[in-house]
Amino acid sequence: MQLNLKNPLVFFDLETTGINVAQDRIVELAMLKVKPNGETEKKIHLVNPTVPIPEESAMIHGIRDEDVADKPTFKELAKNLAKFLEGCDLGGFNIVRFDVPLLVEEFLRAGVDFEVSQRKLIDAQKIFFLMEQRTLTAAYKFYCGKKLEGAHGAEADNDATYEVFKAQIERYNGEEVTDASGRKLGKIENDMAAIHNLVASNMVDLAGRIVLNDKGEEVFNFGKHKGKPVAEVLNRERGYYDWMMQGDFPLDTKRKLTQIKLKGFQL
């Protein structure tokens, strides 16, 4: 089937030095751009992370220091990647919680302005977990009837995710999705805005430290202030902002926190 797209949709997958969004780096990336007319275009890069690749990470994706020693850094690739992604929505497997936040961190470190607030985020893992609760390998077998060869390689995982997502739309098109309490969240449709609303509509920062509650208020999603409005906490506990800005939080989280604080001054 052909996806119903208003904007190009770029499926992407990252292999990294680890799973810490604020500290770890990309060592491989694969991007598959799907255009509204169905045409596709790929970009695949090994990336020098400029830091050692831990052996525990190398054992998963098979990429070691010597494999990327002569490869370009992300900073060297950043402008061309941003141009490739210009005007595109983003898709992938577990991108909302990991790949998108880490990609944005890399762009910020490279000094390249890359904003995702106006992009649709299409996370095939979230649909899968809502409907089937499995891994990418199981998803590929379940939806596509195929064995995933080369799992944990960026290109193999990325291509499989694209096939899985198309199969999900075909399988669930028109079905209502509910949460654990039975509350209706929306329908699975061949429409990227509808999918975005299911998987990413309550996001404020990409790491999920700040989210929107049912009233549309920005609230903390961690720690002692979980569920409390950010603006109220910052107004009542002035030192909390400084603690977060000096802490080990992603740059995107700090940026959003500052925007909320400044918005309070404008009221």
Fold of domain 9-199: Nucleotidyltransferase; domain 5 (3.30.420)
Looking at the DSSP bridge assignments, the partners of residue 91 are 11, 122
**Start-end of CATH 3.30.420.10 domains in the chain:** 9-199
Across residues 112-125, what is the average pLDDT? 93
Residue 181's pLDDT is 60
Per-residue pLDDT tens over the stretch 79-96: 999 999 999 999 999 999
Using one digit for the tens of pLDDT, what is the confidence trace for 221-239? Answer: 998 999 999 999 999 998 9
Lookup: tokens for 90? 């983003």
- The DSSP secondary-structure symbol of 92 reads E
- The DSSP result for 188-204, as a single string, is --S-HHHHHHHHTTTBS
Q: What is the per-residue pLDDT for 39? A: 96
The per-residue pLDDT for 200 is 85
User: pTM value?
Assistant: 0.69
Q: Which range is least confidently modeled, 72-76, 176-180, 230-234?
A: 176-180
- If we measure between CA atoms, which residue out of 72, 70, 98, 81 comes closest to residue 30? 81
